[in-house]
């Protein structure tokens, strides 16, 4: 039997601001840990202000290691604002497309590495 686990975002992050990639990585690590343990996850976004860098780092990055079906079947989002739902939908769509094309992903990763080296 699969167990459900609720992750209250504002408790995990220690506040209601979820804008940065750094905060997204905190959630991402928690998600991977729990998904690998077989949990179905309920993410509670009550009172949380969200931006796409946070969602890209937390949810979008899951598509590297999990299929879209696994993510959609094992993670439920609750108490999201309409703007969070729109952003989340775009992040999931873009991440699925990005990680499904390994050549494009590899090229983009190398391009980003080179840009970072130049800065």
The mean predicted confidence, pLDDT, of the chain is: 90
Residue 5 phi/psi, 5-degree rounding, is: -135, 130
CA distance 10 to 44: 8
Whether 18 contacts 44, CB under 8 Å: no
- What is the pTM for the complete model shown? 0.84
Query: Is the pLDDT at 86 greater than 60, yes or no?
Result: yes
Domain ranges of the chain: 4-118
Query: Is the pLDDT at 106 greater than 90, yes or no?
Result: no
Query: Is the pLDDT at 102 greater than 80, yes or no?
Result: no
Nearest to 78 by CA among 48, 56, 58: 48
């Amino acid at each position: 039997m699969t167990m459900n686990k609720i992750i209250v975002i504002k408790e995990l992050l220690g506040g209601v601001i979820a804008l940065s990639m750094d905060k997204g990585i905190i959630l991402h690590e928690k998600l991977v840990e729990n998904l690998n343990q077989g949990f179905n996850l309920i993410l509670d976004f009550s009172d949380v202000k969200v931006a796409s860098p946070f969602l890209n780092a937390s949810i979008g990055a899951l598509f590297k290691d999990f299929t879209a079906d696994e993510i959609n079947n094992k993670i439920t989002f609750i108490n999201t604002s309409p703007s969070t739902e729109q952003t989340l939908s775009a992040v999931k769509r873009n991440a699925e497309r990005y990680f499904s094309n390994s050549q494009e992903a590899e090229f983009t990763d190398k391009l980003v590495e080179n840009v970072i080296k130049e800065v």
